[in-house]
Structure 1
Amino acid sequence: MAHPYSQDLRLRTLYLITSGMSISKVSRTLDISKTTLYKWRHQLESIGSTLPMSSPPPPQPSQIKDLNKFQKFVDA
């Protein structure tokens, strides 16, 4: 998994956008996708922060709870 961009970079990038530089130009200049820049801008406007959002925990592997029932299913 990729590491999140630093908070400093996020803030400097949003400063460029709010200062009038287009998202397309910022994207090309800093090699950050436009989708990411729109997400950061929306996040700043909606919750007032650009800190990386926490990811949901990875799914846990399924466990067989009834081995006899599973064996009947496999044998069928």
Structure 2
Amino acid sequence: MPSPYSYDLRIRALKMIDEGIPITQISKLLKISRDTLHRWKNRRDHTGDVKARFGYQTGYNHKISDMKEFQKFIDQNPGKTHQQLADLYPVEMSAKTMGVWIKKLGYTDLATFF
């Protein structure tokens, strides 16, 4: 994800809007899309500020948090299918996800059906 525009640039663009300069002209001058300028203006009108949002990107939460514990679980349940292992594992996951994590451990492919 690209980094947000600086706060100073946002303030400068909004001052230009307040001075009556057309948004199209500001867009060309500062090389910022018109939609972005409209969003900044609306955000300022609603919240009173135009700071960039942060903290909303949570990233991907992996199903397996402790690989050693997972490897121990796999070693304790030999000969079971991916679906059986997925059903037994305390965290809910699909058989496909179970197979992907088993492969990450370096084990050969276990049976997926009888």
TM-score (norm. length: structure 2)? 0.55
1:50 corresponds to 2:50: yes
- Partner of 2:3: helix, strand, or coil? coil
Which one-letter code corresponds to 1:60 in the other structure?
A: N
Displacement, 1:4? 1.0
2: CA distance between counterparts of 1:51 and 1:27? 19
> In the TM superposition, what is the alpha-carbon distance from 1:68 to its structure 2 partner?
4.5
Q: CA deviation at 1:35?
A: 1.1
RMSD, aligned α-carbons: 2.1
Contiguous gaps of at least 5 residues in structure 1:
none
In the alignment, is residue 59 of structure 1 matched against residue 26 of structure 2? no
Gaps of 5+ in 2: 65-83, 88-94, 99-111
Question: Match for 2:113: what amino acid?
Answer: D
Deviation at 1:67, TM superposition (A): 2.1
User: Structure 1 pair 25/68, CA: closer, same or farther in 2 (3 Å)?
Assistant: closer
Indicate the percent of aligned positions where both proteins have the same amino acid: 31
Counterparts in 2 of 1:26 and 1:68: CA distance versus 1, 3 Å: closer
| 1:25-40 alignment, distance < 5 Å | 25-40=25-40
Deviations 1:20-69 (A, max 9, x none): 011111001111011111110011000001110113312323x27x7253
Q: Please, what TM-score do these two structures have when normalized by structure 1?
A: 0.79
After superposition, what is the alpha-carbon deviation per residue over 1:6-29, rounded to whole angstroms, capped at 9, x for unaligned? Answer: 111100000001110111110011
Q: What is the DSSP-based 3-state SS (H/G/I as helix, E as strand, rest coil) of the residue aligned with 1:2?
A: coil
How many angstroms apart in 2 are the aligned matches of 1:16 and 1:46?
A: 19
Aligned length in residues: 72
